[in-house]
Amino acid sequence: MYRDETAWSAPPSQSSGCAVSGPLESIPDLALSSMSARDAFLVAREAHGGPGHGETKLSHPVAVAELLSARGFDQATVSAALLHDTVEDTALGIGQIERHFGLEIAGLVAGLTEDQRILRYPARKAEARARAIQDRRVAAIYAADKLANARRLLEGRECIDGERLDHYVKTLRLFSERLPEPPFLAELSVELTRLINRDAGRIGAPAPRLQLS
């Protein structure tokens, strides 16, 4: 389920034992709120720009973390948001996150990491959604991730594909049905409606009706 962890090594930092390299002046404000968030940002910056990195840009986890920070979530949640794509998209492994950040943050990141053994996209996403709703903070990061992606797609004029749109709509519906006071869903509903109105014709998909319970 997780990537090989031998490809990533880190000199110790004062707070977590993580790699903290690069110019500190470029750290966003949200990462200055705690040593954990600072180290998580620096590790994410190194991982997403280093060997074995995937297509995820650092701006995405920062956008997700900013949503959570603005909503008042704790530093462990903000730190996990900064790291949430590292196991899927970089050479970083969940064991390394646990050793450097502890069980709490590693558990949140693990809860957000898809099981790559499930090859079919719809089945893999369904399993990830079902797992995310088991923990309120994991669900919050998951929903913030979808909101940040929807806004990026709208800003960049990138057309969303049908399977991804279906996954986002199912996330919205599942979370609204199963979670008490789910965060970010009202905003996500608005942005998905905008995406659907813009892209449904282009991708040949019917426009689903979005309604929060």
Q: Report the catalytic residues.
A: 88-89
Sequence letter at residue 122: P
CA distance 67 to 181: 16
Where helices occur in the chain by DSSP H, the ranges are 35-49, 59-70, 75-83, 86-89, 94-101, 103-112, 121-132, 136-156, 162-178, 185-203
Compute the distance between CA of residue 196 and CA of residue 55 in angstroms, rounded to an integer. 24
